[in-house]
Structure 1
Amino acid sequence: MNLVRVPRRTFGALVALLAFGGLAACSLPTQGPSAEDIVTQSAEGKGYELVPITAKIANRMSETYSRGFSKAFLDAPIQTTSSRLGMGDAVAIRIFEAGGGGLFSNSDGTVSIPRIVVSPTGTISIPYVPNIRALDRTPKEIEEQIVEALSGKALEPQVIVTLAQDDNNTVTIQGAVARPARVPLRVGGNRLSEVFVASGGPRFPAHQVEVSVTRDGVTSTASMQRILEDPRQNIALRSGDIITANHKPRSFTIMGSVNRPAHFPFEKENLSIMEAVGRASGLLDQRADATSVFLFRRESSRTLRSYGLTASDWWRKEKRGVPTVYWLDLSQPEALFHAQTAPMRNGDLIYVANADSVELGKALSIFGLALSTTNSAITVAE
């Protein structure tokens, strides 16, 4: 081991520096707050909550993060569409007579009217039978009206009325899909995935697409990936639903003592804290404090209360969520499991604090000294 002789005056200055390390650290270059600052300022009520990640917290974080439809949409059963006509619907009519020479004379005693649209007044008209009430009536009821109106005019008339165009039992799909359109619903009802197939599917990867369904003024949202993977999210549709596919790529930032600090996109639907750290190639061995890995996020007050935290008055002022710092100690083996369980969210920030020895090394460098654990020792010169 080599000895580095340090003049007594310099050593005294070094001792003073270490004694008042907190003051010195404030003036040293740094990439962010120290772990001590984050913990201390939280205790002083500086506007954020500090939550150590335990097994219970990690599981709760995973449970509360669910990009799926609300219970009301999930529980709505599939329904058959209504056979009653509305304005804008079109019907096809065929009239049969018992023989030739009747009101609708032709070789086979039939006449076809391929398309009649229900008017804004709710009526349809055919020759000899004007103003047939069609609004909110079934094709069968319209058949009976026409037969009754033609009795005494046509030879034993028989009528078949079929729906040619259903303008009222439709849903609208729009946004980031191949073919935005109004899609008619089947008589037996449709589920969400069927309408996406009819529109050609989303134009972006499933984990980058959010799907919103608006029904009777209420909107609920789920990720496209979740809809594909979870059968319950493939909800039953109702006439008049508006389906919007939004392209919303998600991302997170990781900074501090990691090998590759950067802003990263999500490459799949679910990403854990451990996977996010892995994207940055892990902690920086010579700088990182593995006991001080922090996740910055705005969290709902409901989630924080589920952790056992008591609501503070200042929470109500935070309209975008309560500023929350999750604290993970990766020096503990069990914390690696917590990091695999706890999910990342869009906009999250991971910050890895420097080890105390890094700050000490900065302080020593002011005096032209360097820390070494193997090759040298500092002695005081008389």
Structure 2
Amino acid sequence: MLSLTLRLSRGVALVVTLGILAACALPRVGPNKSEIFAGSVLREGDAFVLTVDDRVNAIAAVAPALGFSAGFLNAGEVGSDTINPGDTLGLTIFENVDDGLLVPTGQNATILNEVQVDGQGFIFVPYAGRVKAAGNTPEAIRRIITDKLSDQTPDPQVQVRRLAGDGSTVSVSGAVNAQGVYPIERPTRSLVAMLAAAGGIGVDPEIARVTVVRGNQRAEIFYDDLYNNPRNDIALRDGDAIVVKADSRTFTALGATGTQNRVKFETPTISAIEALAQVGGLSSTVADPTGVFVFRNEPEAIAEQLVGQDLTGTQRVVYVLDLTRPNGMFMARDFAIRDGDTVYVTEAPFAQFSKTIAAATGSLNAVNNVQSTTGL
């Protein structure tokens, strides 16, 4: 009789404990599916909750594109042989006489290094005077100097070479191996060649972004796109600023995943499946594969296409991915994660039930310990 009474008392205790636990908030990773759906505009919430399908994927995949405008793409290469004010030239003058105008006795040539093109575009050459250099090629300057010296020394031979100067230059900074100011020369008239002259990039090419600032124009592109599309290897202009930096986009992973963290993009594009893989996938013990959510603030234009009605301003959108559906994995594979997204995985109902049972069992064990101690 006592044993039956004890069993009944324990059963009552279990029911009471489960009721108490059900009324209390057990520890969990975040809201469950019902609580998220309760925030839908259909239930007087302020978020649009949408199940991901092919139509939603096609609309939601739209993202701000990186690339160069027509102004950058259509600019032709600067003639690297055209001399500009501020450039530096090197001259070598040969004379066919023993006692020449410029050549020292016993030698057949004289070298004039570091001949600076002045602000008006002229250089000074002894016995030739002021020579117009800016706007001319080294070959044209060679002919001008030769003509001016030929009246004073027989058959002079002149060689003109362009040296690195502070005329047409670009600055290269950021995640490159040799930051600095570089002249635009024949081998470095395009973006790829200039980056190579700066020692190449110093970050993973998959996450490198290259920005070119030209006056009031600004354009950005992924480094890999410079090679995937040769047209992106734009011609440079005097004063261009080239900045290389690592991709700063991130998404946040929360809930029943392998790890909960703010995660950087490892590639230019990333799908929902890849995002989950980056954080260790779904927790095999507590995750609900029918409750994978992506929280995002969508621009007005995209939100209107998604819901098929006129809206005003940025809208809160919750995308629902059910990995257990026949095409669920494909939908998640095709869903593009964007900068600032929050990927959240809910706990399975069984996980919460297990917590309730565990908590109840612990409570009953505590009651039994008290009974054993008091002799009841």
Q: What TM-score does the superposition give when structure 2 sets the normalisation length?
A: 0.75
- Among candidates 92, 95, 117, match of residue 94 of structure 1: 92
Higher RCO by CA contacts (8 Å cutoff, separation 6 or greater) = 1
Any idea what the Cα deviations from partners look like across 1:290-327, whole Å, max 9, x if unmatched?
32211123444444455465452242xxxxxx543222
Any idea what the Cα deviations from partners look like across 1:76-99, whole Å, max 9, x if unmatched?
365252432212211223345564
Q: Show structure 2 runs of 5+ residues with no match.
A: 1-6, 364-376
Partner of residue 217, structure 1 = 216
Partner of residue 55, structure 1 = 54
Amino acid at match of 1:125: F
Q: Kindly state the Cα deviation for residue 279 of structure 1 after the two structures are TM-superposed.
A: 3.7
SS in 2 for 1:313: coil
Q: Provide the rounded CA distance (Å) in 1 between the counterparts of 2:158 and 2:97.
A: 14
Q: Provide the rounded CA distance (Å) in 1 between the counterparts of 2:350 and 2:269.
A: 35
Q: Provide the rounded CA distance (Å) in 1 between the counterparts of 2:81 and 2:48.
A: 56
Any idea what the Cα deviations from partners look like across 1:200-224, whole Å, max 9, x if unmatched?
2222222342221222332222233
Is 1:289 equivalent to 2:320 in the alignment? Answer: no
SS in 1 for 2:186: coil
Q: Kindly state the Cα deviation for residue 360 of structure 1 after the two structures are TM-superposed.
A: 6.2
Q: Kindly state the Cα deviation for residue 184 of structure 1 after the two structures are TM-superposed.
A: 3.6
Is 1:350 equivalent to 2:348 in the alignment? Answer: no
Contact 2:18 2:356 in 1 (8 A): no
- Among candidates 331, 339, 343, match of residue 332 of structure 2: 339
Amino acid at match of 2:324: S
Contact 1:329 1:335 in 2 (8 A): yes
Q: Provide the rounded CA distance (Å) in 1 between the counterparts of 2:124 and 2:37.
A: 79
Residues 188 and 204 (structure 1 numbering): CA distance in 2 closer, same or farther, change over 3 Å? closer
SS in 1 for 2:39: helix
Residues 258 and 149 (structure 1 numbering): CA distance in 2 closer, same or farther, change over 3 Å? closer
Is 1:40 equivalent to 2:33 in the alignment? Answer: no
Identical positions, percent: 24
Residues 58 and 74 (structure 1 numbering): CA distance in 2 closer, same or farther, change over 3 Å? farther
Q: Kindly state the Cα deviation for residue 30 of structure 1 after the two structures are TM-superposed.
A: 4.0
Q: Kindly state the Cα deviation for residue 12 of structure 1 after the two structures are TM-superposed.
A: 10
Contact 2:63 2:338 in 1 (8 A): no
Residues 124 and 309 (structure 1 numbering): CA distance in 2 closer, same or farther, change over 3 Å? farther
Q: Show structure 1 runs of 5+ residues with no match.
A: 316-321, 371-382
Amino acid at match of 2:323: L
Q: Provide the rounded CA distance (Å) in 1 between the counterparts of 2:175 and 2:80.
A: 29
Pick which of 327-336 and 115-124 moved more: 115-124
Partner of residue 322, structure 2 = 329
Partner of residue 142, structure 1 = 141
Q: Kindly state the Cα deviation for residue 61 of structure 1 after the two structures are TM-superposed.
A: 4.3
Q: Kindly state the Cα deviation for residue 126 of structure 1 after the two structures are TM-superposed.
A: 1.7
Amino acid at match of 2:332: A
SS in 1 for 2:40: helix
Structure-to-structure mapping, 1:191-210, within 5 angstroms = 191-210=190-209
Q: Provide the rounded CA distance (Å) in 1 between the counterparts of 2:68 and 2:301.
A: 16
Any idea what the Cα deviations from partners look like across 1:330-368, whole Å, max 9, x if unmatched?
221212001112233444321112345555677788887
Partner of residue 70, structure 1 = 68
Residues 184 and 15 (structure 1 numbering): CA distance in 2 closer, same or farther, change over 3 Å? closer
Is 1:257 equivalent to 2:250 in the alignment? Answer: no
Q: Provide the rounded CA distance (Å) in 1 between the counterparts of 2:291 and 2:207.
A: 31
Contact 2:213 2:242 in 1 (8 A): yes
Q: Provide the rounded CA distance (Å) in 2 between the counterparts of 1:369 and 1:296.
A: 36
Structure-to-structure mapping, 1:356-367, within 5 angstroms = 356=349
Q: Provide the rounded CA distance (Å) in 1 between the counterparts of 2:70 and 2:169.
A: 20
Residues 270 and 114 (structure 1 numbering): CA distance in 2 closer, same or farther, change over 3 Å? same
Contact 1:178 1:203 in 2 (8 A): yes
Partner of residue 176, structure 1 = 175
SS in 1 for 2:327: helix
Residues 186 and 62 (structure 1 numbering): CA distance in 2 closer, same or farther, change over 3 Å? farther
Is 1:236 equivalent to 2:234 in the alignment? Answer: yes
Q: Provide the rounded CA distance (Å) in 2 between the counterparts of 1:137 and 1:170.
A: 18
Residues 132 and 224 (structure 1 numbering): CA distance in 2 closer, same or farther, change over 3 Å? same
Q: Kindly state the Cα deviation for residue 117 of structure 1 after the two structures are TM-superposed.
A: 0.8
Amino acid at match of 1:337: F
